[in-house]
Chains A and B, each alone.
Chain A
């Protein structure tokens, strides 16, 4: 069972690596943002699997933190990529 969980974590990590190919290639900034989102979710899955397999329950807390911070970072990315649609810089 432990071996299976580690293998599953490795498999999802490989998926994350493939997702990185989209970050590298692009071509648009949205593609990179989506790949970052996938990496975040895949990362959380890997963390949860590792927590169960290695008996490191604190890794679940890392996953919890990551889920919040990933949402926050993605919002910042979306705003950074398309500033005119979502907000306007305040006046001097």
Chain B
């Protein structure tokens, strides 16, 4: 009985923290002054936001396969998102792509 309550609290805490980082990322994307700072905010949502949501949902999965799926989603987003932000930053530093 205790385990269930503890895991529920863990899920609520982790998902709330993840949602907070999504908020931070979005606010950063909207309010920061230039491309590079906005990219920085964006990566927070990618890494921490999604990571904490995945962490919070892990106790609710049934079985190793579902848990592995959740983690692989996070890893794929990390990989893709990380590279994309690097590419965007490179093209932004070179004087910006055409508008």
Q: Any chain B CB within 8 A of the CB of A15? A: yes
**Chain B residues, Cβ within 8 Å of A22:** 29-30
Are A37 and B81 in contact, CB atoms less than 8 angstroms apart? yes
Question: By DSSP majority rule, is chain A's interface helix, strand, loop, or mixed?
Answer: helix
> Considering only CB atoms and an 8 Å cut-off, how many residues of chain B contact the other chain?
49
0/1 interface trace, chain B 20-57, chain A, CB 8 Å (1 if under): 00110111011000010011001001100110011001
3 tightest A-B CB contacts, nearest first: A71-B80, A82-B97, A67-B76
A27-B99 in contact (CB<8A): yes
Residue of B nearest to A69 (CB): B80
Is the CB–CB distance between B26 and A19 below 8 Å? Answer: yes
Query: If A11-B19, A29-B97, A60-B73 touch, does A49 touch B57 (CB 8 Å cutoff)?
Result: yes
- What's the Cα separation between A79 and B50 when bound, in Å? 26
Could you list 28 A-B pairs, sorted by A, with CB under 8 Å?
A: A4-B15, A8-B16, A28-B96, A28-B97, A30-B35, A31-B35, A33-B84, A41-B45, A41-B49, A42-B26, A42-B45, A45-B18, A45-B49, A45-B53, A52-B60, A63-B73, A64-B73, A67-B76, A67-B77, A67-B80, A71-B77, A74-B84, A78-B87, A81-B91, A81-B97, A82-B91, A82-B97, A82-B98
- Which A residues are within 8 Å of any B CB, using their own CB? 1, 4-5, 8, 11-12, 15-16, 18-19, 21-22, 26-31, 33-35, 37-38, 41-42, 44-45, 48-49, 52, 57, 60-61, 63-64, 67-68, 70-71, 74-75, 78, 81-82, 85-86
Are the CB atoms of A48 and B73 closer together than 8 Å?
Answer: yes
Of B16, B22, B76, the contact of A15 (CB 8 Å cutoff):
B22
